[in-house]
Amino acid sequence: MDERERDAARLLAALRGFEAPTGGTADPEDAVRAGRRRVRARRAAAMTSAVAAVAAIAAATALLGRPAAAPEPRPVAPAEHFDAGRHAFSVGSAGGFAPASYQPGRDVQRITLRVERPGGTLRADGLVEMYPAGGLPPGSGGRAPRGRPAPDVHGHRAYVLAVPVLRPGAVELAWEWKPGAWGFVSLKGPGADEGRAQRVAQGVLPAGGQSRP
């Protein structure tokens, strides 16, 4: 069937529903015109339905492809602070080191270490930094310490840091001395190793100057 035959078939189908005016005789030309109008109306309706279907499919595809909304960030706990006028920790001699100086502060308490018995193979220096909950060293990028798990320090998790955050090239260990609060041991120089850093951390204890909001 060619295009002309198909048009004729559509026109005849439309003419089947044509009704002549009451009391008159059907005009063949009127019937043809009416049939053509019906064919055009059906084509327009089919086109409208197709466009609506395409639009619905496009909208559904866009919704499926849209990334899920990111979860709301958890509120950050308010940072605590030390009493800057008090030593919040006691630091004993351990791992071949002894405390040399103590610098109290509101945001960090810093203890420098010296070799307890000079003249031996240990010729490193040491540093301990203790932070209140919510505080971290600038070199951490604001991220909680992560690294190779180390033995617990006073029952709290500890890590040997793969990348030091206090001093480049140092052996450093971090431990969570209370929930959300971290301490750091940094040893640098001949004789510094993870075992000594672990023993130094074990020698650091809260001294009653607990952190406060």
Domain range for 140: 89-206
Residue 213 falls within a domain, yes or no? no
Per residue in 11-20, pLDDT (tens digit) is 555 545 555 5
DSSP code per residue over 1-59:
--HHHHHHHHHHHHHTT--PPTTS---HHHHHHHHHHHHHHHHHHHHHHHHHHHHHHHH
Residue 42 has a pLDDT of 72
Q: Give helix 3-15 / helix 28-65 axis angle, nearest 10°.
A: 100
pLDDT tier at 5 (50, 70, 90 boundaries)?
Answer: low
- Whether residue 104 is predicted with pLDDT greater than 70 in this model: the reply is yes
One domain for residues 33 and 102? no
Provide the CATH number for the domain around residue 100: 2.60.120
Per residue in 37-73, pLDDT (tens digit) is 765 777 766 677 665 665 666 665 555 555 444 444 3
Residue 76 falls within a domain, yes or no? no
Number of structural domains (the chain) is 2
Percent share of the chain, pLDDT over 70: 62
Residue 64 has a pLDDT of 57
- Whether residue 99 is predicted with pLDDT greater than 50 in this model: the reply is yes
Residue 179 has a pLDDT of 96
One domain for residues 140 and 195? yes
One domain for residues 52 and 118? no
pLDDT tier at 118 (50, 70, 90 boundaries)?
Answer: very high
Residue 174 falls within a domain, yes or no? yes
Q: To the nearest whole number, what is the mean pLDDT of the chain?
A: 81
One domain for residues 180 and 136? yes
For the segment 113-139, the average pLDDT, to the nearest whole number, is: 96
pLDDT tier at 207 (50, 70, 90 boundaries)?
Answer: confident
One domain for residues 51 and 96? no
Residues 6+ away with beta carbon under 8 Å from 10: 39
One domain for residues 166 and 112? yes
Task: Tell me the HSE value of 42 on the side-chain side, using a 13 A CA sphere.
Answer: 10
Residue 200 has a pLDDT of 98
One domain for residues 107 and 192? yes
